Amino acid sequence: MVNVQTYGGGLWHTWFDRDLSVAGRVIVRDSNGSFLHKLVKIKRPLLRVPTLAIHLDRTVNKDGFKPNLETHLIPLLSIKPDETSAESKVSSKPVHHPLLLQILSDELGCCADDIMSIELNLCDTQPSCLGGGNNEFIFSGRLDNLASSYCALRALIDSCRLPADLSTEHAVRMVALFDNEEVGSDSFQGAGAPTMFQAMRRIIDSLADKYVGENAFERAIRKSFLVSADMAHGVHPNFTDKHEEHHRPEMQKGLVIKHNANQRYATSGITAFLFKEVGKIHNLPTQEFAVRNDMGCGSTIGPILASGVGIRTVDCGIAQLSMHSVREVCGKEDIDIAYQHFKAFYQSFSHVDSKLTIDY
């Protein structure tokens, strides 16, 4: 058995009876005595968390499947690890089992003894695919939030391909991708760290040189605009009552702009208008979402970044189903709409923003 820790708020029952493997990072000792950071992914099914047979849990369908995350969620690696050839190849390493280290070393092409440290995640081996009667859905793990990350990065690249794309641009276009949003963002690589704003300050210092007066960074922040893009809760056809009656985002209907009076989302009336106006110019649809008053509301990195330095922010996302399941669902067309909207934002926001006069 391989011990695991749960991360964030997962739908843990969906991980049972799946063909699982591991992926992550490994620190390897090189032949010259230096140390290398390498990424690794074992593509073949390696682990499985088996469910208990119905014959031994007769009331599960009536009482519900309620696994103990400490004792029931441990994946099975092998039945007879002591008889594997790996046992004779690896010196004693009390932290990780020799068989797992040997599998990693075979994948990396190194000796198991040269693996100094590992940081691995369980992952589903089933590839992403199109599905539905008209192939209109994407079935995949980790759509939340790799889908938004992909659309944002692709939009940035494609908005700057030609010199003419930036010939009239007076702002700086950038994208920031963070880890650990699901557990609060307070980490070295999370949105709670000062990394993004430190990068912005360095960019401003580099471009400003000696020709810009004091407080250039603060003034640039006030003129900037942040799109906090995270996946959104599409209305579930079997649970429509979980959504507020007039805020039921659907798949294939465009980006969802998220609102919350208690600031769980950073959207304001002004930022929502600006972002929707960009979409309107390019004939891109948008939807609105507000959580029911009798339900709790999730959050994003939007409020963290908006309150950190006072930057205008809109929270938006692609509508999806099965959020935090091992296998999630979103609309195929929504990926293209999100990409087009983000690209339009890079290309058109400065012009749209210049037309707005705010009476404070």
- pLDDT of 301 > 90? The answer is yes
Predicted confidence (pLDDT) at residue 241 exceeds the cutoff of 70: yes
Whether residue 252 is found in the same domain as residue 321: yes
Q: Are residues 104 and 168 in the same domain?
A: no
Which pLDDT does position 93 carry in this prediction?
46
The token pair that represents 294 in the structure block: 């009798």
- φ/ψ of 160, rounded to 5, equals -130, 25
Averaged pLDDT of the chain: 92
**Minimum mean pLDDT range among 130-144, 201-215, 271-285:** 201-215
Residues 227 and 260 in one domain: yes
- CB-based contacts of 336: which residues, under 8 Å, 6+ apart? none
> Does residue 38 register a pLDDT over 50?
yes
Domain count, the chain: 2
**CA atoms 304, 305, 308, 312: torsion sign:** negative
Residues 78-87: what's their mean pLDDT? Answer: 62
Distance of CA 217 to the CA centre of its chain: 28
User: Which of 124, 145, 178 corresponds to the end of one domain?
Assistant: 124
DSSP letter, residue 54: G
Q: What is the mean pLDDT of residues 49-75?
A: 95
Beta strand 255-259 pairing with 286-290: parallel
* Structural domain for 195, as ranges: 129-354
Structural contact between residues 349 and 168, judged by C-beta atoms closer than 8 angstroms: no
Q: Does residue 1 form part of some domain?
A: no
Q: Which tokens in the block code for residue 81?
A: 């690890």
Tokens in use for 103?
Answer: 């599998």
Spatial contact of 344 and 284, defined as CB atoms under 8 Å apart: yes
Domain shared by 138 and 116, yes or no: no
Q: What is the pLDDT of residue 150?
A: 98
Can you tell me the mean pLDDT for 206-231? 86
pLDDT of residue 268: 96
- pLDDT of residue 329 exceeding 60: yes
pLDDT of residue 328: 98
The per-residue pLDDT for 183 is 86
DSSP 47: B
In the predicted model, what is the mean pLDDT of residues 211-232? 88
Task: Return the pLDDT at 215.
Answer: 83
pLDDT over 70 at 21, yes or no: yes
pLDDT at 122 over 60: yes
Give domain status of residue 276, yes or no: yes
Question: Among 284, 66, 301, 114, which Cα is nearest to 101's?
Answer: 114
Mean of pLDDT values over 97-116: 94
For 159-194, the pLDDT digits (tens) are 998 888 888 888 999 999 999 989 889 898 999 999
Supply angle C-alpha 239, 240, 245, rounded to 5. 150
Q: What type of residue is 281?
A: I
Looking at the fold, whether 119 and 133 belong to one and the same domain comes out as no
Q: Starting from the edge strand earliest in sequence, which strands make up the sheet with 35-41, in order? A: 35-41, 20-29, 115-124
319 touches 251 (CB < 8 A): yes
353, containing H or E segment: helix 332-354
Checking phi first, is residue 249 left (phi over 0); if not, alpha (psi -120 to 50) or beta?
beta
Q: What is the full DSSP assignment across 5-45?
A: ---SS--GGGGTT--EEEEEEEEEE-TTS-EEEEEEE--S-
Q: Can you give the pLDDT at residue 211?
A: 65
d(CA 231, CA 250): 12
Q: Which of 324, 308, 316 is nearest to 344 (CA)?
A: 316
Is residue 213 pLDDT above 70, yes or no?
Answer: no
CA 95 to chain centre: 29
Is 76 in the same domain as 177? no
Q: Both 217 and 87 in a single domain? A: no
CATH code of the domain covering residue 109: 2.30.250.10
Could you say which of 77, 94, 124 is where a domain stops? 124
CA distance 247 to 125: 35
Which among 91, 71, 51, 84 has a CA at the least distance from the CA of 1?
Answer: 71
CATH number at residue 245: 3.40.630.10
Residue 359 in any domain: the answer is no
CA distance 346 to 153: 11
What confidence tier does 81 reach under pLDDT thresholds 50, 70, 90? low
Same domain, 110 and 140: no
Tell me what pLDDT residue 223 has.
92
